[in-house]
Structure 1
Amino acid sequence: MIIVLDYGAGNTANVLRALAQVGMAARLSADPQEILAADGLILPGVGAYAAAMQELSRRGLTAVIQQAVAAGKPLLGICLGMQLLLEEGLENGRTQGLAFIPGSCRRIPDQAGLPVPHMGWNDLKIEQESALTEGLQGQAVYFVHSYYTDVAEAYIDATADYGFPLPAMIRKGHVFGCQFHPEKSGSVGLGILERFKEYVYEDSACY
C-alpha cells in the first residue's frame, strides 16, 4: 500500500486518481501506524512552505515521515512536497524542512518575459538517470510554482529552462521529488508514477 500523506495541502484527489490509473493501491492517511507500515509514501502539496511544515508538525507527522524514510521507505514529493524535502524554505522568513536533501527553497528570480509564478508546460532535460527518468528527455510536464529548490547538481536528475536550469526532479537515495505535477502531466506524468510503483515494489506482484 502507498500512503498519500494527508496534511490538508490540497490536490490529493487528483493524485489518488492518477495512482489508481497506474494500478497502484493507495490511500490518503495521516495515521502514524499506516505511514510506518506503508510500502512507499507520496507527499503532495500546494501552498506555502511555512504553513505546510506547521501543519505537518501539528498533526505529528514530521517525525513519523522522517522515521519511515530512515527505515528505507521510498518517498516521492510533488510540487510543494518536493520543496519540503529540503533543509529549509525561505518564503516569508526561514522555515526548517524535512531535511532529506541538502538545500534551500527560494523564490524564482524575476526575469524579463518570465512571469512568476512559473505556470504551464515545460520540457524536461535529463541531467542524470534515475529510477524515474527513463524516456523523459524532452518531454513536457505541467508546472505551477513560485519557488524552486536550490540544491547541488549531485541531487538534480532533471531540469527545465526558465531563464536558468530550474530543478524539475531531484533525488537523494530513495527520496525523490518532482517540482511539476505528474498527476496533471498526462501520459508522461502517469509514466513517472508507474516507475515509482515499480521502484517501490521491485518487480513484486503485490501492488
Structure 2
Amino acid sequence: MKIVIINYGAGNIQSIKFAIQRLGYEAILSHDIKEIQHADKVIFPGVGEASSAMKKLRASGIDKIIPDLKQPVLGICLGMQLMCNSSEEGNTKGLGIFNTDVVKFSNAVKVPQIGWNQISNLKSGIFKEIRNNEHIYLVHSYYAPLCDATIAESEYELSYSAALQKDNFYGTQFHPEKSSEAGARILQNFLNL
C-alpha cells in the first residue's frame, strides 16, 4: 500500500510518519503531484495558521488536485480545516470539500484548546472499535461547527465537529498520531478503508 503524507511545509509530518510506522507501514513524505495522485491513501496534515498554509498549498499547485482525489484522504487538524469552505483565521478561502466554515472559539474560553477531550456521536467506519466518549488529543483555536458532514463531536464551550466525512474525504480536528491507542486504531481504520 502506498501511503503519501502531503509535505507542503505546514505539518507535523514526522510524528504522523512515525505513527504510521508503529502500525507496520511506510509512508512517503511528498509534495509531488503525481505521487500524491497515485497513492492508495493520502494524509493531509496541518499545523500553523490557515492563510499561510493555504498560500503554500497554492504555490505548489496541490490545492488544485486535493478536491479531485478519488482514494481515501485524511485531513488532520489544520488539514481538515483547509478542506472546509473557509476559515475565519486570516480570512482564508478553503478547498470547499466540506460545506462548512471554520470559526474561532469566543473569548469566553481559553484558546487554544490544548489537551485531551472526548469524542461522541461516532458515525463512520474510521471509528470502528472506538468507544463513545473516548479521549483524543487536540490543539486548536478554530473549529468546524456541527454540519451534515459531522461524524464525531466534541465539546468545548459548545458542541463542534471533532471529525468530518464526505465521500472519500475524512477529517479529524484532533491529532490521531498523538491520541494514544485510540488514535492508532483510528489511523489503522483509515488505512483499512
Query: Normalised by the shorter chain, which TM-score bucket?
Result: over 0.9
Structure 1 vs Structure 2 CA RMSD: 1.2
Deviations 1:75-115 (A, max 9, x none): 1000000101101111132x21111110111111222xx31
In structure 2, the residue matched to 1:65 is 66
Count of aligned positions: 191
Distance 1:36 1:124 in 2: 31
- Residue 163 (str. 1) matches residue 157 (str. 2): yes
CA distance in 1, matches of 2:149, 2:62: 25
The aligned residue for residue 110 of structure 1 is 107
Aligned to 1:196: 190
Corresponding position: 1:42 with 2:43: yes
Q: In structure 1, the residue corresponding to 2:56 is in which secondary structure? A: helix
Match of 2:84 in 1: 86
TM-score (structure 1 length as normaliser)? 0.88
For structure 2, list consecutive stretches of 5 or more residues without a partner in the other structure. Answer: none
Shift of 1:137: 0.9
Q: How far apart in 2 are the matches of 1:51 and 1:143?
A: 21
CA distance in 1, matches of 2:98, 2:181: 28
Segments of 4+ in structure 1 off by > 6 A? none
TM-score for both structures, normalised by structure 2: 0.95
Offset from partner CA, 1:152-194 (integer Å, 9 cap, x none): 2x21111111121121011111110110111011111000000
Q: Which amino acid aligns with 2:67?
A: Q
Q: Secondary structure of the equivalent of 2:125?
A: coil
Amino acid at match of 1:92: G
Deviation at 1:25, TM superposition (A): 2.9
